[in-house]
Structure 1
């Protein structure tokens, strides 16, 4: 058993008795090929919850600061996370993300870049659009609908792949692609709240 599988089992064992997960839309998740998984961000627990409910292993892009903490800098790379320097164009993180998608794996990110204080969806950053346009990966929107309260239902909703071909063909901007992704996430939230 690798560390990712072990960590996933451990998280499931710890969180499942506390939160009543309801996972919706797993039938939309591609069984193979590159997947860009984009979710809203409402709490620190979002990455493990998405990793727990997604049907395939997810490599998360995470803020560089997390990789400076003594325990986390050892743990995070072993559970498929990789660092990104926020507030600047991090070429290494961009290359790494594109490589994950090109290899046919799943990369997860939170386009808002930070947690939403009020739980409402915020404007997404251009990085999500960059990966969507520069790869041939399926783009899957994901809505985490809380709040995180013990013994209350927590929904994780996976949407259908977002059609990106037209944007890719006309070389749309990363901002426009991100806006489309955020619209799909918001629609999932509105439909399942």
Structure 2
């Protein structure tokens, strides 16, 4: 049986039973409205499609391990899942109060680049332990040429300390829509491939090197599969 491939927006935004816990009415309303509108926009402008190897857990901590192609990536990942995702945001973005209110409502995790890496990792671990799904880009930065870069192993400690599953994701086509050399994105075709979950009990039984190798291999496989479909135009 083939994994489901999703495109058009559903009749409701990604708000499972636990999604309203700890969120303000403003945050819930903003997230729901933006999710519906931006997903419709992404489908029409970017031919947005996403495939899952298996269903994601609707609640509990989850580490979303994704390739990094463009500034669109956090948005694309959020539009893919029927649960809220948290991404990291520079603490300087919180200086403008109205914008700070928006990104806080969208579950951003403030990261101070001048503080220690340990402090930043503790913040992410705490969010995972609180039951959030957190996006990590293990390449560390956006790709310069659209190709997959080397994965850094910092995410291994996060998953082990928080005791949460890892889901690998490959994004293809976002670099072509918005490369680093362009000021604004252009229309195109974008596909996301979600792999199988690496469960906490599996993670606990593996060495750090084995976890990094397993996730690297899976993301490479997903990247190849997504790129083959993208290049052939099989996005529907």
Task: Give the corresponding residue for 1:14.
Answer: 41
C-alpha offsets along residues 35-88 of structure 1, whole Å, 9 cap, x if unaligned?
Answer: 101110001111111101112110112344544566543321111011224486
Q: Deviations over 1:96-124 (max 9, x none)?
A: 22222222221112111210011111122
- Is 1:183 matched with 2:217? yes
Q: For residue 148 of structure 1, what is the aligned residue in structure 2? A: 177
Which structure has the larger Rg over C-alpha atoms?
A: 2
Of 121, 134, 138, 1:107 maps to 134
How far off is 1:126 after superposition?
3.2
- Give the secondary-structure state (helix, strand or coil) at the position aligned to 1:24: strand
Q: Deviations over 1:118-142 (max 9, x none)?
A: 1111122333122122122110001
Higher strand share: 1
Over 3 Å counting, the alpha-carbon distance change for 1:118 and 1:88 in structure 2 is farther
Structure 1: which 4+ aligned runs deviate by more than 4 Å?
A: 68-71
Matched residues in 1 for 2:124 and 2:56: separation?
A: 19
> Are the equivalent residues in 1 in contact too, given 2:43–2:49 (CA < 8 A)?
no
CA distance in 1, matches of 2:113, 2:214: 22
Structure 2: any 5+ residue segments left out of the alignment?
1-27, 179-185, 228-236
Unaligned runs of 5+ residues in structure 1 are none
Listed as ranges, the matches of 1:77-156 within 5 Å are 77-86=104-113, 89-146=116-173, 147-148=176-177, 152-156=188-192
Task: State TM-score, norm by structure 1.
Answer: 0.83
Shift of 1:18: 0.4
Compare relative contact order (CA 8 Å, sep 6+) and give the higher one, 1 or 2: 1
- Say yes or no: does 1:61 pair with 2:61: no
